[in-house]
A and B are shown apart, each in its own frame.
Chain A
Amino acid sequence: MKKDTGKYLPLIPVFAVYLVLFLVGKNMSGMWQLMAMLLFYCALGQAFNIFLGMTGYVDFGYVAFMGVGTYGMALSIVHLAQYEGLGAWVIVIGLVMAILFSTALSLCVGAVALRLRGAYFAIATIGVNEGFRFLIEGARIWNGSEGMIFMAELNRILGRDGASALATFWADVMVLVIAALAATVTLVYMRSKIGYALTALREDEDAAKVMGINVTKFKIVAFVTSASFAGLVGATSWALKTPYVFPPEVFEIHYTIEAIIIVLLGGAGTLLGPVAGGLIYGLSKYYLSIFLPGFQLLIFAPIIICIIVLFPEGVVGMFKKRFRDSALGRYIV
């Protein structure tokens, strides 16, 4: 019994960080926006880490899953706002649609890409966000390149005050819940057969195969999980906060770049890594945008190159090594 509860102790520091962020944002005036941004980056990192961290495969088209999640929410709001009886359930349906869309797209992409190894996988994913964006624009699906604006629909569903409370507060709370869920799922995976199988495949895919591990199955599980969390992040942090979607913006590769930076900074494949990376990246981005606007990537690109060359295990990875044998080590995973 004791052993079982001990398995999930590492969630304590993660949840503690999220709680502190929430409380600081709620109780200190003017801090909510910054805290919400940090929570967003933590959630993005946690979601991305489930795939990149656990498999060692890098998905350069990750933002496509956020994009279709955003579309899932937007379409629900646009098409269901006319049914008065649904009320706030429209948002719930939107979240479900976001998961469905991102899961469906990730199954399609994964079915092709996950058969490929290493470099070929990266090449296959590099065009996913562009490919999907141009499909929407080219075939004029979902209003094509004109996008959708749904401020009026949101106001009709929730009332003007309700919609603005959703955009400025409740959407961020949802992101917090998603971040916490993603962290929990990460640890559950790590502590189960999935995690061990993925570790084996990350270290040596051929050996894992020879040992009888169905590597493709576990890769797909990690890929789809990671993608559906991305869909949720897109639905909440984009569609509910800025009530419009345009293909060039929701499929902007920028978020993939940020997710990579966060996970690498913190330490790929660790539970705490995305939290540490999200905090470091979010805080530096915030203060850089005040003191040196427009220079974030110029500063972060060389930092990331240095991390890859010099400290590939990231901040948390280094701590993990140092505290491995101490009492603290149990919490750093």
Chain B
Amino acid sequence: MVFEQLAGNLIQGLVLGAVYGMATMGLSLIFGVLKVVNVGHGAFIMVGAFVTLALFDGLGLSPLLAIPAAFGVGLALGLFFYYTAIQRLIKAPELATLLATFSIGILLEEVIKLVFGSEFRGYNWEVGKIDLGITVLPMSKLYACIGSVVIAVLLYLWFNRTRAGSAMRSVVEDSEGARVCGVNVGAAYAWSFALGIGLTVASGVLLTMFIPVGINPYMGGAYTLKAFVIAVLGGLASPYGAFFGGLVFGLIENGSYTLFALLPGVEPFALTRFLSFMILLVILLIRPTGLLRGK
């Protein structure tokens, strides 16, 4: 009985984990290329959720069509914040970019609150479900999972098969060397930041399929923490590492929830959140370069 439940929850965790992974790729991409930690990460996810809501409620568009729209919104936001703030701070002490991205996150939350209000809002995208015997999986979650995998593969192809992708990778390896070889490092920075934000906002669309209680402007904080745990699992600077980190985290989260629920007198949901924080601390302590990568 318990094992059946555990197996069912682990399948759910794998599906959720793929989306978690995709939602963290932008964070890792930005850190890898610019060495900037986007502390406002969760706020960008929240923007994606509201793009979905606006398109679904306003125009009746399917959340799947909201993915490219959210990606476009993210690219625009990324370029805007890069040229107004981040560009001037790359050479400054780390404190500056940390506080700047933190403030950008607050700004986004407040703007969305101004437009949509701060109540929880939800929408219902009913596309049926499939019964796997041990667990029932809504199709919307399955679509989100497939979408995440497709986006991750596209990103991989883009990095490895296109000139712009190679240019970005060269900047990660050695920005001076890239400059010498004729790579426009400034543009690579700007587009990496925009791409990272685009991916993050797009992931907000996929994540909303997992939020039964609805979305609100302050939902991002929890995802910022999860994204950092995942990114650190995957080595912080590698988008693919982040994707696999997401899968691992999804399994840990759902698996530990099932096990905590067996303990009497505790609140399992809160304990899983505490556990993810402890994982973060332990990994940072023993291996800040990430568990899934060699040194």
Given that A131-B274, A138-B268, A145-B267 are contacting pairs, would A58 and B228 also be in contact in the complex, using a CB cutoff of 8 Å? Answer: no
A60 touches B102 (CB 8 A): yes
Which B residues touch A153, using CB under 8 A? none
A138 contact from B39, B93, B267, Cβ within 8 A: B267
Q: Does B37 contact A (CB under 8 A)?
A: yes
A301 contact from B103, B265, B271, Cβ within 8 A: B103
Q: Does B273 contact A (CB under 8 A)?
A: yes
Nearest A-chain residue to B37, judged by Cβ: A119
Of A32-40, A122-130, A281-289, the one contacting chain B is A122-130
Q: Does B164 contact A (CB under 8 A)?
A: no
Given the complex of chains A and B, what is the CA–CA distance between A151 and B88 in angstroms?
51
B92 touches A134 (CB 8 A): no
A126 contact from B31, B84, B103, B228, Cβ within 8 A: B228
Of B136-144, B152-160, B277-285, the one contacting chain A is B277-285
Given the complex of chains A and B, what is the CA–CA distance between A295 and B109 in angstroms?
12
Which A residues touch B270, using CB under 8 A? 134-135, 137-138, 145
Q: How far is the CB of A227 from chain B (nearest CB, A)?
A: 16
Within 8 A of B (CB), among A128-155: 128, 130-131, 134-135, 137-140, 144-145
Within 8 A of B (CB), among A244-259: 253, 257
Nearest A-chain residue to B106, judged by Cβ: A301
Q: Does A57 contact B (CB under 8 A)?
A: yes
B285 touches A115 (CB 8 A): yes
Q: Does A25 contact B (CB under 8 A)?
A: no
Of A5-13, A180-188, A190-198, A303-311, the one contacting chain B is A303-311
Given the complex of chains A and B, what is the CA–CA distance between A138 and B98 in angstroms?
30
B96 touches A312 (CB 8 A): yes
In this complex, which of A122, A127, A139, A301 has the most chain B Cβ atoms within 10 angstroms of its Cβ?
A: A127
Q: Does B130 contact A (CB under 8 A)?
A: no
A126 touches B268 (CB 8 A): no
Encoded as 1 (CB less than 8 Å from any B CB) or 0, chain A from 255 to 273 comes to 0010010001000100000
Given the complex of chains A and B, what is the CA–CA distance between A116 and B111 in angstroms?
34
Q: Does A56 contact B (CB under 8 A)?
A: yes
Which A residues touch B281, using CB under 8 A? 112-113, 124
B284 contact from A116, A253, A302, A309, Cβ within 8 A: A116
Which A residues touch B92, using CB under 8 A? 312
Nearest A-chain residue to B92, judged by Cβ: A312
Nearest A-chain residue to B88, judged by Cβ: A309
Within 8 A of A (CB), among B83-102: 84-85, 88-89, 92-96, 98-100, 102
Q: Does B266 contact A (CB under 8 A)?
A: yes
Q: How far is the CB of A33 from chain B (nearest CB, A)?
A: 25
Which A residues touch B268, using CB under 8 A? 138
Q: Does A120 contact B (CB under 8 A)?
A: yes
B107 touches A301 (CB 8 A): yes
Given the complex of chains A and B, what is the CA–CA distance between A302 and B106 in angstroms?
9
Interface residues of B (CB under 8 A from A): 31, 35, 37, 39, 84-85, 88-89, 92-96, 98-100, 102-104, 106-107, 109-111, 113-114, 221-222, 224-225, 228-229, 232, 260, 265-274, 276-278, 280-281, 284-285, 288
Interface residues of A (CB under 8 A from B): 52, 56-58, 60, 112-113, 115-116, 118-120, 122-124, 126-128, 130-131, 134-135, 137-140, 144-145, 253, 257, 260, 264, 268, 295, 297-298, 301-302, 304-305, 308-309, 312
Q: Which 3 A-B pairs have the closest CB atoms?
A: A131-B277, A138-B270, A138-B271
